[in-house]
Chains A and B, each alone.
Chain A
Amino acid sequence: MNFVMTPEQESIRKMVREFAEKSLAPTAAERDEKELFSREIMDQIGELGIFGLPYPEEYGGAGSDFVSYAIAVEEISRVCASTGIGLSVHVSLCAWPIFKYGTEEQKQKYLRPLAEGTQLGAFGLTEPNAGTDAAAGSTIAVKDGDSYVINGSKVFNTNGGEAEIEVIFAATDKAAGLKGLSAFIVEKGTPGFTYGKKEIKMGIRASVQRELIFENCRVPAANLLGKEGEGFKIAMTTLDGGRIGVAAQAVGIAQAALDAAVKYSKERVQFGKPIAANQAISFMLADMATKLDAARLLTYRAAYNKSNHLSYSKEAAMAKMFASDAAMSITTDAVQIFGGYGYSREYPVERLMRDAKITQIYEGTNQAMRMVVSGSILR
């Protein structure tokens, strides 16, 4: 058993932290306040090679592993959770299914620019009537000669409108249910592919979610990802990995909240002493730190399993569910420790609390995570 980061993982943490603190921190609150998505930041992350962390060098990646990737998402999210999810969706939900299920041509054409960071990626599964019940979507793809004609819409698409590459899901055989879903790679600018409204949100307000609209959108048959009917499997295995990113995002948010709470509780004086001198506060900090550590270990364990080709579906679900619940409780406690100032938008912890909430919802709600975990142990 080894709980020590490798020198490579340590140095990637240091590198990403330095970038996040110098480049993201100064504008994080303002981008949240004004709901500004920054393409420039995503491009910078791409240039630094962070998008390519877990992918092999032959596809433009860095040839590192998923633990380093989780560390990168954590460090970015510690400073700006909005940027953290943009990174996570790009790497885990768009690049990964192409890496795992794509043909060699698809990998060279799409994975390479994603790993090299010259193009941005997104993932479109959710529809207005198909959230947790992902197979209930009404987007359809009909084969016509050398192409598929796609009709329908997707909602809540993270990076939507900005991403050059979308991995989306549509029914090629509606009657076949789960087994009739297929995955497609769709390029931005394809005729018939447009964007609808942008979401206005509680948290991660500097990330962008947009509706995708497909009206007789013709996609080359070569852009079918995997085989016809494999879409549901592709979506679920992709989300298994995505959850490691969401868990890491939650860990980063929670770390930021704990750091802020520790600092504030040592500085804030009431009744003639720092509030940290009250056990009511110091025990709260102890619980926060313990939950955070457990969340981080679950997250790295899932990432480790993924890197080492061990099963990680249950582990990622546990990590995502535990880390997101931990982040929600830790950020709520941080607001409490800041008292009235915690509730004020002049201090950073209210943003962390708003940002934490989404980690319990997306890439499978925490109820869905319990379905995955219980399903796995009752099998």
Chain B
Amino acid sequence: MEIVVCVKQVPDTTEVKIDPATNTLIRQGVPSIVNPFDKNALEAALQLKEAYGGKVTVLSMGPPQAKDALKECLAMGADAAILISDRAFGGSDTLATSYTLASAIRKLGNCDIILFGKQAIDGDTAQVGPETAEHLGVAQVTYASRIEVSGDVARIERESEEGYEIIEVKLPAVVTVIKTLNYEPRYPSVKGTMKANRAEIPVWTAADLTVEEGRLGLKGSPTQVRNIFTPPRRVQGVIIARDTAREAVAELLQKLTEAKIV
């Protein structure tokens, strides 16, 4: 089984601060990490490989430093990694990014399943996975928490707020993976770390892909960011703690009535 995982290098948002003057992320001095959901996707890929055999290739589009993210994936057990990097890709929005990733996946050829994290923790759009599926013209399942394969069909548990759906899709397909205990990312091993260290990661530029220039980078990005702002903090709720549920409910009802909600 040929498995592709698309990963993004992101700033560690647990360490990010917002510049109050400009409302933008202060990226300076913030360590870069593999987008956490992508690690869940990679774990899913590694488990699929362990169950059904095959090969796991990780792809990342980004600047040369994104090689560090790819090396971390190799250390966890991915078989190969490719960096897609070119000045022409600079300024890509989700449309141009997914277009470029789809071209790279096409160049790789015969992929059975293409995994993404459900979203990146910096942009938070959750669009790149589904858009890539559209460019490739294959089925997509988002928010997966379990993936099983038999023959050319994948059976996927898709989480929703009410529970989960079970969806069957014909492969090849794009699947985006959530943070789940089923796919708790493994630690890199010593051997993986050493292999990753020695690995030469090939870089694919625009010239290596069959792409229309106008659909790349800033030119291929219709999204315009007007303003980024921190939403107002939600005010804290009220906890009604009384000796009995009866008392608490009575008080709650009174408050709701006062507020003309009921």
Residues in A lying within 8 Å of B, measured CB to CB: 7-8, 11-12, 15, 18-19, 22-23, 47-50, 52-53, 62-64
* Interface segment out of the listed B8-16, B79-87, B184-192, B247-255: B184-192
A49 x B191 contact (CB < 8 A) = yes
Smallest CB separation, A248 vs chain B (Å): 16
Q: Does more than half of chain A's interface fall in helix, strand or loop, or is it mixed?
A: helix
Nearest-CB residue, chain B, relative to A68: B190
B256 interfacial contact with A, CB 8 Å: no
User: Would you call B221 an interface residue if the criterion is a C-beta within 8 Å of the partner chain's C-beta atoms?
Assistant: no
Q: Does B194 contact A (CB under 8 A)?
A: yes
Most chain A C-beta atoms within 10 Å of own C-beta, residue among B190, B191, B193, B197: B190
Measured CA separation A183–B106 after assembly (Å): 61
Within B157-205, the residues touching A (CB, 8 Å) are 187-191, 193-194, 196-197
A18–B185 CA distance with the chains assembled, in angstroms: 12
Asked if B102 is at the interface (CB within 8 A of a chain A CB), the reply is no
Give the interface size class of chain B. Answer: 10 to 19
Q: Does B59 contact A (CB under 8 A)?
A: no
| Assembled-state Cα–Cα distance A36/B60 (Å) | 43
Give complex CA distance A8, B196 in Å.
9
**Which residues on the A side are within 8 Å of B71 (C-beta)?**
11
Known: A11-B75, A15-B187, A49-B189. A62 touches B194 (CB 8 A): yes
**What would 12 A/B residue contacts be, using CB atoms closer than 8 Å?**
A7-B197, A8-B193, A12-B194, A18-B188, A23-B187, A48-B187, A48-B189, A52-B190, A62-B190, A62-B191, A63-B194, A64-B194
Distance of A87 from chain B, by nearest CB (Å): 12
- A62 CA to B29 CA, complexed, in Å: 33
Is there contact, CB below 8 Å, between A11 and B197?
yes
Q: A11-B75, A15-B75 are in contact. Are A47 and B189 (CB under 8 A)?
A: yes
Instruction: List the 4 closest pairs (A to B, CB-CB), nearest first.
Output: A49-B190, A62-B190, A49-B189, A15-B193
Q: How far is the CA of A164 from the CA of B250 in the complex (A)?
A: 64
Choose from B190, B196, B197 the contact partner of A50 (Cβ within 8 Å): B190
Closest to A8 in B: B197
Instruction: Report which residue of A15, A22, A52 has the largest number of chain B beta carbons within 10 angstroms of its beta carbon.
Output: A15
Q: Which residues of B lie under 8 Å from residue A18 when comparing CB positions?
A: 187-188
Known contacts A15-B187, A23-B187, A64-B194; 19 further A-B pairs (Cβ under 8 A): A8-B193, A8-B194, A11-B75, A11-B197, A12-B194, A15-B189, A15-B193, A18-B187, A18-B188, A47-B189, A48-B187, A48-B188, A49-B189, A49-B191, A50-B190, A52-B190, A53-B190, A62-B190, A62-B194
Chain B residues with Cβ under 8 A from A62's Cβ? 190-191, 194
